[in-house]
Amino acid sequence: DIQMTQSPSSLSASVGDRVTITCQASQDISNYLNWYQQKPGKAPKLLIYDASNLETGVPSRFSGSGSGTDFTFTISSLQPEDIATYYCQQYDNLPRTFGPGTKVDIK
């Protein structure tokens, strides 16, 4: 299985801050990586696919980059509605695997 790690596991930031989350794969997954947002009590929601492509309707303050084993997810200006846990997920191989998540809240 491809192991996914994320850092940090949690963070607190102020409204308007730039927030960066990193995701690392245990082997080269090219750009076969997605990012999801999960709000409390809700199902995950796709934000970014193929490492850097923004899903339709997702605000442009969200972005993703990277390839190979190292990936970055950025919120350019944190908003109150961005309070959630963010997960990376690889689809280079089966089984599909997710990172452990990064919980983001407002300072």
CA angle, 54 then 102 then 64, to 5°: 25
Say if residues 56 and 45 touch (Cβ distance below 8 Å): no
Of 97, 104, 105, 107, the one binding other proteins by CB under 8 A: 97
Window 5-24: residues binding other proteins (CB under 8 A): none
DSSP letters for 46-88: EEEETTTEEPTT--TTEEEEEETTEEEEEESS--GGG-EEEEE
Q: Binding string to other proteins for residues 27 to 66, with x set by CB under 8 A, is what?
A: -----x-x-x-----xxxxx--xx----x-----------
Query: Does 105 sit near other proteins (CB under 8 A)?
Result: no
Query: Does 89 sit near other proteins (CB under 8 A)?
Result: yes
Q: How far apart are CA 105 and CA 96, in angstroms?
A: 27
Instruction: Give the footprint of other proteins on this chain (CB under 8 A).
Output: 1, 32, 34, 36, 42-46, 49-50, 55, 87, 89, 91, 94-101
